[in-house]
Each structure stands twice: as structure tokens, then as C-alpha cells.
Structure 1
Amino acid sequence: MVSPLYVAVNRGQTESVAMLLKAGYSPDAQDCTCSLGLHSPLTLALSRASSEALRECVDLLVAAGASLEEQDWTQVFVSDSSQLLQLVLQHRRFPQHESPSTTIQQDGRTTLKMQEQSSMLSAALSCTGSASLWLPVLLSSGLEPSVLLQPCLFEEADSEALNHLLEFMNWTTLPPPLRLILDQRRAASSWEPRPHFDSLPLLSHICRLRIREILGPDLLMRSSTVQQLPVPSLLHDFLQFRDIPETLPS
């Protein structure tokens, strides 16, 4: 018998979805790939997320701990806005090196398993053409920028998306293969670097990179920890990279 969650999601009945989850129904229900072509109720909700009711279903299911497979992430990244990704990441946090397993944190967000993050990255890198939509969201949500040092992203992402990524790292220490890609794109006029990328980073930028390395990106970007650091309050936004616009020009 198919879980009633499928029926409730199919009809966009958010109150029913909430009641079923509260009653103990698994947000993943059962895999109905063979019978319905759907991995889970979340897969169904994501496929129709242009509807406000279905977006609410996505929110409820992800908050309840629904698993995200690569096909689910792909639905998130092919969306024509970053709204779905922001919705999902309200309930998820990226794994840190010291905590690779899934746990519930005090803030209620579930840590992605390393395999789940790998699936997310695979889906994202299959959508490099829309990197200007999803890349700022991932970085501001605490993703470690180094995991995005991928040749396909450097080859295919637009100029503004690449520049945004470089702002979150020491651009003078890129691996030689990636530096070569940038040099080739610059010569072909398909990448227009920001002027300061031709110079060494300021000491202030190096310092905030070091602080991020010590605290971890998630803690720095998505918590109040920075407010507890012995630095002037005027520096808080800078340390969280908020001087870098999150919305990229189209």
C-alpha cells in the first residue's frame, strides 16, 4: 500500500502532510520508482514546486528529515530561482571535517552525510550554466569553498559566478590546472576578473580566511559565533563575507 503522504503531496494538502508527519509517518515513505516513477514524496513535491502549496510540502518534508537523493538535488538546481535551494538549506547544514555523520544540531538543522553532500555537488556541477543562482547561496550557507574547485565549474560558469567564488578564497593559491583554465578564458574574453585579482589579497582578507578555517564555514557563516570574537562589531559583517553581494548581475 502506498503511503498516504504521496496522496497528500499529490493533492497539495499541506495540512494533511503536516498531520501525517506528526503522526509518525516516515517523510521518505517507500520508494515507488517502479510503480510511480517516484523515489519519495519529496521527489513528487520538488517536481511541482512552482506551486506554493507544493513548496510548503517541500519545507515540511525536509524539516522532517526527508532524504535528498541526487535526482532531488537536480530538481533543486534546475529551478529558475534559488528559492528551493534556500528552502532546503534552512533545514540542513554542511558536514565539517570533525563531524562527518548525520546529527541534529542545537539549531535544529540536520547535518548532511558526506554522501548526501557529494550527491548535491554532483547535481550542482551538472548545472554550471546557472551557477550564478546557486553558488552564492551555497557559500553563504556555509559550504567549504574548496569543494567547488572543480575544472568543469571553472570552464563553464559565467564570469560573475567565478568572480564570486574567488572572493571566498585566496585566489593566488589556486591549483595550476585551474589557473590555466582562467588564463585561457581571460585570453578568450570569456572571463573578466575583478581588478584586485591581479594583486595579492589584503591582509584583512587573509585573516578572515584563517578565522573561517579555524571555526569552520558553517559556524562562521550561519551562527552568532562571530559576535563573540574579540574584534570590533564593525568587522562582523566583513568576517562573514557580507561585503560581497549575494545577488549576482544576470
Structure 2
Amino acid sequence: MRRGGMDFAECYQHTCSAVGLAAREGKTRLMRKLIQKGYSTDVSDNRGWNPLHEAAFHGSCECVRILIKTARSGGTHREYINSPAHDSATPLFLAAQQGHARVARALLHAGANANRVTDDDAGPLFAAVDGGHAEVVKLLLSNGAEVNRPQSVSGWTCLHQAVFKGHVEIVKFLVGVADVNATDDFGIPPIFVAAQYGQQQCVEILASAGANVSCQSHDLATPLLIASQEGHLTCVEALLDHGADPNLFCNEDKWQLPVHAAAEFGHVRVLERLLPLTGRECDRGRGKVSPVYSAVLRGQVETLRVLLREGFSPDAQECSTYGYSSPIAAALCSPLMSAESRSRTPGLVRALLEAGAHGDCGLYPSCVEQDLPYLLEPLLGRGGLPEGDHLAELVRTGLDHLHTAAVWLPTLLRAGLDPAPFLQEAFFEKAESSVLSYLLEFTNWRMLPQSLQHILCRRRAESTWIPLQQFDSVPSLCQLCRLALRDMLGSKALAQRGFVQRLPLPPLLHDFLLFTSCPLPTQPAPEQREYLGHGLDQLE
């Protein structure tokens, strides 16, 4: 090994020079001997670390002093003391990062630059703050470290980082010397960071020091909005106690207040805290968005119930922002919903209907399309039977979802829907045997068109349709009278809840008109039945 000067043969991956190893281990006597024998003090390893980096990182203060003294004798001590590693970290940065106050003091006394930054734009002060090293922070500031200069890739200041890490004592010190309203590249000040990460003590300190509690970032978000979104109740309370405005518009793309964020992310206690202080113009106001939509679109049943209990409308306003005519439409039709949120659709619909939401027969196809046919019954009670284009769309959708017809078809027919729209070849060809038989119970099966009768004959021969015994004969007089009476009453009357029971007829005839004796179709496959049953449980 050649002594003196730079010797690259001395540097291997994951190794350091002999002097560097002595510095790493704090062996001052060995270091002196090596230097006296002519070993170099500036040989770097694969990271670009020389012995001074090693000594500074490991807190070997005496080794640092020896290396500084040696560098002075060579006349290059300032360059040596500020020598950068491959990532531009200086010995002072490493000492600050590790919280070695004595080492940092020695380096500063020898002329270390307190504002030299790494490739990540972080200086020694930022490193000390990040590590929570209060003594080093104060030392660096007393030696000219710039406290307000952005010191990270995103433009955070040291105060941002202290708040992010929750170093309360350092935050208390920095608010006396730093700009408490300094913003990063996104217009975010330290109090926003405190609110986002649930640092309630830091929120209190910053607000008391003059931070703007109602500041808005470039996208108009406020600390109160982000705290509400993250569910940090103590931060929400602290911000409100210091005068934060809960009625500031907080989003460029979607009309949003903190209550929307709380509703969307399911933070019930935060929502309850915000509601008494929030204006109600967002409920049904033109151009606004009700927080009811926020809860519905994220499947948040509990926050939806809170909003409805506090008087928010279950119908809300038509929401052009999201493209829905009502909250129920959003619950049934939203492509924004995750699979988990969609599993909560029954609970959402039930809550809205219980609060008086109006049904919309245009939504019935969505119930079938989304494999939620059990929602048809409660919606029919509000919106009535479909007609015209709505009926045509429902029939088309039903033909595409015959796998759940055992649920939706009885619901529609018992509600009074005329079976005629389903008397189609496509239905007769594809419907499961018991579903097909159920439909025929509501018809004069001897009067079917020839094309449908041919399909029945063929399916019977193929054993894909097992007819009920009565289908082998002409309909009875009772059956024909039942059909005639239903036709005379009309579907709108039959659809009214309890209408048939109010007719001046014996109870037995009430049941007859309601087809209660007709066997229901065979339920869907086990896995589908389990899913449908889950939905019914939620509605009961």
C-alpha cells in the first residue's frame, strides 16, 4: 500500500481506508500513528466518504479534531472540512443527521458551511430537525444556518419537517425564528402538514404563533379539510378553536367543504363536530354538491345516516358535477364505487328511502344490471311501476340478466306489472324452467302466440322446461276471472301498497289476486343466493 496522497488501490466496495476505519471506530491513538507514518487522511470509499465523514457520522469528536488539525497543516482544511460525498453530504451534514453536537460544534468552529446541501436539497439544519436533535438545531441556527430556505425536493422548510415528524420541542423553538406561513411548492404551509398528519400539539403551537388556520394550498384545500379527510378529530377541534373557517370552498374540480371530506371518508365524530358550524347552502343549492353525495359515492352508510338525521335532504340537488340526478341514482349507478363500497348499496338505499327519498323508475334497470334485484321492491314503493321508455329499458335489461329473474320477476308481477312485455321469444328460450312457469301463471297460457307455444313444446320435449300440471289444460274460470279483474283494476292500482287488501272481498280472494299460492321460482345458484340474501338482510 502506497503511503501519502490518493491511493485508489486502497479503496474497495464496502470498505474504507485504514485511517477511515480508525476514525469509524474512534481509535484516536491508532489514527495518530497512521497519520505519522504517512497514511492519507483523504482517501474516499465507494460512497465518497473520507475519514472525516466516518468520524463525523460515528461521533468520534477527538478523531475529528485530529483530522482538522492535520488538514490545517496541509493548508487545505476548508476544502477538506466541507468535502462532499457522492451524494454531496458533508461531514457537518452527517454529524447533524446523527445528532452529534460536539462534532458539529468542532466542524463549525473550523469553518464548516452550515448551508451546504445534498443532492436532495437538504442541509445540515434539515437533517438535524429530521432527526429531532434540538441541541444541534440551535447550534446550527446560531452559526448562520438558513431557517426559511426550502430544504427538500418538494420545497419544505425545516419547520415543515419538524411538524411532520412531530418534534414538538423543536417546533416550539423554530416558531420563534422561522416563517410560520412559509409554503412549499404546492402552497402548503407547516400548519397544513400538522393537520394532515394528526400533530395536534403542533397545530396549537403554530396557530398560537400566528399561522393562518384558514390558509389554502394551490388546489384550495385548507388544514381543516385535510384534517377532516384524515379523521384527525383533535386537529379539527384545535383548528376550529383557533377560528378556522369550515365554509371555505376547498377544491378546484369538485365543490367541497370539510364536511364533504368527513362524510366521504366515514369519519362520523369529525362530521358531527363540523355540522353545527357549516352552512346549509350546500345541501340543495344550485351549483353546489350535497355531502350526501360524498357519503353515497364512497359507500359510507354511517356518515350518510348522520347527515340525514341532521336534516340534509335524501334527494339533494341534481348533481351535474358527478352526473347524477339524485343520491339514490348515485348509489345504484356510480362507476366510481369500489367493490367494497358497492356491497354497501343496500344500506345506502335503505337509509335514503327511510329518510323520504323519492324513487325513480328510471333506476330499476340499474337494480337488475348491478345484480341488486332485491332493491326493486322498496323502490317500487316510492317510484311506482315503470312505463314507456323506462319499461322498455327494464325489459331489455331483464332479458340480459335472466340469471336473477327468480328475484326481480316476481317482484314486478306481484306489484301489478302487466306480463305482456316479457312474452318474447328471447325470454321463453332462455328463462329457467321455474321462472318461465311463474310468468305463465300471470297469463292465459292457451292464448299465447304460436311462436311461443312452439318454444314451450320444444323445451318440454328437451326437458328444459317442466310445466306445472295446470298448463296441460285450459285456464280455469277462476284463473280467467283473476286475470280479468287484474286487467280491470290496472297496474297502477295494484302497485299501491295494501290496495288489494282494501277491496271488499273475502281475504281468500285477496290472496288469490296476489298470486300468493303460486310457487316462487327456484332461487339463483348458491353463491348468487348468498349475495342476494345478504342484501335482503340489510333491507329488513
Alignment partners' CA distance in 2, 1:66 and 1:239: 26
Partner of 2:375 in structure 1?
84
Secondary structure of 2:488 counterpart: helix
Identity, in percent, stands at: 33
Alignment partners' CA distance in 1, 2:468 and 2:383: 32
Partner of 1:186 in structure 2?
460
Partner of 1:143 in structure 2?
417
Cα RMSD (Å) of the superposition? 2.9
The answer to whether the aligner puts 1:201 opposite 2:475 as a matched pair is: yes
Structure 1: which amino acid aligns with 2:461? Answer: A
- Asked if 1 retains the 8 angstrom alpha-carbon contact of 2:296 and 2:331, the reply is yes
Alignment partners' CA distance in 2, 1:235 and 1:40: 39
Partner of 1:102 in structure 2?
none
Shift of 1:217: 3.2
Alignment partners' CA distance in 2, 1:122 and 1:162: 17
Larger CA Rg, structure 1 vs 2: 2
For residues 166 and 31 of structure 1, do their structure 2 counterparts lie closer, same or farther at Cα, with a shift above 3 Å needed? farther
Q: 1:21 aligns with which of 291, 313, 319?
A: 313
Structure 2: which amino acid aligns with 1:30? Answer: S
Alignment partners' CA distance in 1, 2:393 and 2:351: 22
Query: Which ranges of structure 1 fall in alignment gaps of 5 or more residues?
Result: 95-111
The two structures have a TM-score, normalised by structure 2, of 0.38
Alignment partners' CA distance in 2, 1:221 and 1:21: 26
Q: How does 1:1-250 map to 2 (within 5 A)?
A: 1-2=254-255, 3-4=289-290, 5-11=292-298, 12=300, 13-15=303-305, 16=307, 19-21=311-313, 25-26=316-317, 28-30=318-320, 32=322, 41-46=327-332, 48-51=341-344, 52-57=346-351, 59=353, 64-65=357-358, 67=360, 69=362, 72-80=363-371, 82-94=373-385, 112-220=386-494, 222-227=496-501, 229=503, 231-246=505-520, 248-250=522-524
For residues 244 and 129 of structure 1, do their structure 2 counterparts lie closer, same or farther at Cα, with a shift above 3 Å needed? same
- Asked if 1 retains the 8 angstrom alpha-carbon contact of 2:441 and 2:518, the reply is yes
The two structures have a TM-score, normalised by structure 1, of 0.75
For residues 113 and 58 of structure 1, do their structure 2 counterparts lie closer, same or farther at Cα, with a shift above 3 Å needed? farther
Alignment partners' CA distance in 2, 1:132 and 1:25: 34
For residues 56 and 234 of structure 1, do their structure 2 counterparts lie closer, same or farther at Cα, with a shift above 3 Å needed? closer
Shift of 1:148: 1.3
Structure 2: which amino acid aligns with 1:29? Answer: C
Range moving further from structure 2, 226-235 or 121-130:
226-235
Structure 1: which amino acid aligns with 2:375? Answer: L
- Asked if 2 retains the 8 angstrom alpha-carbon contact of 1:73 and 1:123, the reply is no
- Asked if 2 retains the 8 angstrom alpha-carbon contact of 1:237 and 1:243, the reply is yes
- Asked if 1 retains the 8 angstrom alpha-carbon contact of 2:417 and 2:491, the reply is yes
Shift of 1:57: 4.9
Query: Which ranges of structure 2 fall in alignment gaps of 5 or more residues?
Result: 1-253, 256-288, 335-340, 525-540
**Residues 48-78 of structure 1, C-alpha deviations (whole Å, 9 max, x = no match):** 44215423355369x5336454xx4444114
For residues 83 and 130 of structure 1, do their structure 2 counterparts lie closer, same or farther at Cα, with a shift above 3 Å needed? closer
Range moving further from structure 2, 81-90 or 185-194:
81-90
Alignment partners' CA distance in 2, 1:133 and 1:44: 23
Secondary structure of 2:312 counterpart: helix
